[in-house]
Amino acid sequence: DAGVTQSPTHLIKTRGQQVTLRCSPKSGHDTVSWYQQALGQGPQFIFQYYEEEERQRGNFPDRFSGHQFPNYSSELNVNALLLGDSALYLCASSLFRSGRAGDTDTQYFGPGTRLTVL
Amino acid sequence: QKEVEQNSGPLSVPEGAIASLNCTYSDRVSQSFFWYRQYSGKSPELIMSIYSNGDKEDGRFTAQLNKASQYVSLLIRDSQPSDSATYLCAVRKAGGYQKVTFGTGTKLQVIP
C-alpha cells in the first residue's frame, strides 16, 4: 500500500523565483491538504483540494496556489518567493466523508519538501 | 486565544516513566482529535485519533478526551528514549471541508 509521496525532497530557490511542489496521495485517498511548517512551529494549513477544486483555504496570500489532477495528485505553486517562505512543506491525504467523525477523516502526511529561499 | 494550545516544553521524563502531554482547544464544535509524533527533520506520523469522550488505548499510548473541558491529552507509558520527539495535537471541526488545525507541539525528552 503506497503511502503519500512528495517531490522534490529538497529545493533551493532565490527570492522572486517560482516553485512547484508535487504530491501523490495514499492509495484510496481523494483529498489532499497542504501545510507549511516553519522551524519550531506546528504545520499551518494552506489549502485543501477535493474533486479538483480548492475547498478550504488558510491565511496565505494569493502567491500560493494549487491544483489537483483527476488521479488525485496535487501541486502547490508559490510565486514571487520571499525569504519567509523557507519552510518544510507538507502534503497530507485523506478520504473525504461528509464531515462525520471517524477513521476516514484521518490525514496521513508525506515526507515533506524542504524549501530554502536565499 | 490560539485555536489549539500546547505547552512547548521540553518535557523531560526518565526512561520507564509515564509521559503526560496536554492540549486545549478553543472551538466547541471540534469533532475529531489527533496526536502526531514528529522527529526532528521528519514529517508528522499519526499516533492516535479520538472522537468520543473518555480514553482510547493503543499499546503504550492512551488518548484522553474531555469535550466539556475542551481538553485532550496523550499518555505514554513505559517511556523509551525512542519516544523523544515533538508531539503535535491536531483538531478538526465538524463539516465536510473542515481543515485540521495543529498546535505548536510539545517536545518530549526521555532520559535514559
Residue B8 pLDDT = 87
Residues of A in contact with B94 (CB under 8 A): 99, 101
* CB contact at 8 A, A1 and A108: no
Facing B51 at nearest CB: one of A92, A99, A101:
A101
Q: Is A96–B96 a contact, with Cβ atoms under 8 angstroms apart?
A: yes
Residue A95 pLDDT = 85
Residue A106 pLDDT = 84
Residue A101 pLDDT = 58
Q: What is the pLDDT of residues B78-102, one digit of tens each?
A: 999 999 999 999 998 876 667 889 9
* CB contact at 8 A, B78 and B57: no
Residue B88 pLDDT = 97
For residue A103, the chain B residue with the least C-alpha distance is B49
**Phi, psi for residue A50 in degrees, rounded to 5:** -145, 135
Query: pLDDT averaged over consecutive 10-residue blocks of chain A (118 residues)?
Result: 91 97 94 95 94 93 97 97 97 78 76 97
Query: pLDDT averaged over consecutive 10-residue blocks of chain B (112 residues)?
Result: 89 97 92 94 94 95 96 97 97 78 96 96
Q: Is A45–B49 a contact, with Cβ atoms under 8 angstroms apart?
A: no
Q: Is B43–A111 a contact, with Cβ atoms under 8 angstroms apart?
A: yes
Residue A14 pLDDT = 97
User: Which runs of E-coded beta strand occur in B1-112?
Assistant: 4-5, 11-14, 19-25, 30-38, 45-50, 54-58, 61-66, 71-76, 85-93, 100-102, 106-111
From B76's Cα to the closest Cα of chain A, the distance in A is 21
| Dihedral angle computed from the Cα positions of residues A35, A69, A95 and A48, in that order, rounded to the nearest 10 degrees | 30
Residue B44, all three cell numbers: 508528522
Question: Best of A5, A31, A100 to disrupt the B interface by mutation (most B CBs within 10 Å)?
Answer: A100
Residue A90, all three cell numbers: 507538507
Strands B11-14 and B106-111: parallel
Residues of A within an 8 Å Cβ radius of B: 33, 35, 40-45, 48, 50, 55-56, 58, 88, 90, 92, 96, 98-99, 101-103, 105-112
Q: Is B102–A43 a contact, with Cβ atoms under 8 angstroms apart?
A: yes
